[in-house]
Structure 1
């Protein structure tokens, strides 16, 4: 378990500080005058899938947006690959290799699948070519000329993830990737995350469905009222189910 008596969670027993790709310490954020994050602390190591769990309004999405620089009124420390980025603009953060897939997906309805895929610029070398993207999401290859408005919710989610894979980012932040999707599509998203992890991607998830998250994540942090209040490794899930039920109200 994480020691939450301190403002900064202890390092996990496995791995080392050298493995840490993203380190967030005492992160605070505001929407206008509304103080939303009250000292978020967590880290993500290279090649991990880490999930932020919590009720609606806990601050999970705000955390992703703050890391990405989309929310500009923020304080504390966000270090990516050892470099402080708390005062860096979102476009420059993207060029360092971080990408976010938002909950609303952001598909351009007037563009077809190919145009949506090709729209984001390449920010770093190493982005996946279209043939590899179609291996991950064969549905998209079949719908290349379909407009965004013609896609199902699952196809839109696939397109939203595929789009950021082209950019060259190796640190992916996925916000509620399974929300509103059919079980068969949720399983496909899980398989995709597993394949991306095997290819060396590092992934930070925000997710409500902790049962699904337990099949893909290495570690979990619980966010409540703008703070990380607990955390544990995937192997510790069975021993913490009662706490999860309390935290998440499930």
Structure 2
């Protein structure tokens, strides 16, 4: 099992603000992800979770504050330079190229660092992809597209992964497979920042959680805090 010391660098987010045009979406977000953790951002729709991932990656219209990754301040860097520090994002919309085959989708992203997973390792994680290698991306099921979207970033060599709603709309059997994959990646030393509406799923893979409310972090807690009283308060905050 990989240890925290051998895992990806810590991410520290401080006072992060972000805008889409004139719309001010993030209002001073503060949190950290420690090496080797799976950390989940929870919150209602519109709370700012996806925008937080995009702001960390530098793909919002405007941002300010501080995002320190691998010991380096990244606010002010372009998204491609941030990626080359070893960070990757798997977007909610998956962004699969429908006209390209599974193989072509996998081989398309450039490597940003040594140590990207081989196709053989990826097929061990996602056997469905090996069976659909020549199929067009647009002919895959939703679950297969999600597997491909995750697999694609694993080839890049990034060790810090941001996964945006990876279980949304998927069948329970696929959700379990995604959970098993996240657990394996953690054992292999990856650090993962997860955005997830499905708290029941998040609780099976995560070490710690932050609840976002109105573009800010409301509360943060770990698995040891999940007693009945706190669970009831969490359900009220999440509206579930």
| Contact 2:48 2:212 survives alignment (8 Å) | yes
Instruction: List aligned pairs for 1:152-171, cutoff 5 A.
Output: 152-171=141-160
Q: CA RMSD in A?
A: 1.3
The residue aligned with 2:215 is: 226
SS in 2 for 1:214: helix
Indicate the residue corresponding to 2:120 in structure 1.
131
Q: Give the corresponding residue for 2:19.
A: 30
Contact preservation (8 Å) 1:20, 1:43 = no
Provide the C-alpha distance between the structure 2 equivalents of 1:31 and 1:72, rounded to a whole number of angstroms. Answer: 5
Shift of 1:39: 0.4
Distance across 2 between alignment mates of 1:148 and 1:81: 33
1:89 and 2:73 matched: no
1:122 lines up with 2:111 in the alignment: yes
SS at match of 2:44: coil
SS of 2:205's partner is coil
SS at 1:215 equivalent: helix
Counterpart CA distance in 2 for 1:192 and 1:227 is 29
Q: Provide the rounded CA distance (Å) in 2 between the counterparts of 1:155 and 1:237.
A: 32
Note the C-alpha offset of 1:82.
1.4
Contact conserved, 2:102 with 2:132, CA < 8 A, in 1? yes
Structure-1-length-normalised TM-score: 0.92
Partner Cα distance (2:49, 2:167) in 1: 15
Q: Secondary structure at the match of 1:144?
A: coil
The CA deviation string for residues 113-165 of structure 1, in whole angstroms up to 9 with x for no partner, is: 00000000111101001000000000000000000111000000000000000
* TM-score relative to the length of structure 2: 0.95
Q: Is the 8 A contact 2:106 2:152 kept in 1?
A: yes
- Residue 42 of structure 2 aligns with which residue? 53
Moved over 3 A (4+): none
- Answer yes or no: is 1:203 the counterpart of 2:197: no
**How far apart are 1:72 and its partner, in Å?**
3.9
After TM superposition, the structure 1 = structure 2 runs for residues 170-209 of structure 1, keeping only pairs within 5 Å, are 170-209=159-198
Separation in structure 2 between the aligned mates of residue 124 and residue 218 of structure 1, nearest angstrom = 26
Does 2:95 align with 1:112?
no
Counterparts of 2:161 and 2:144 in 1: how far apart (Å)? 19
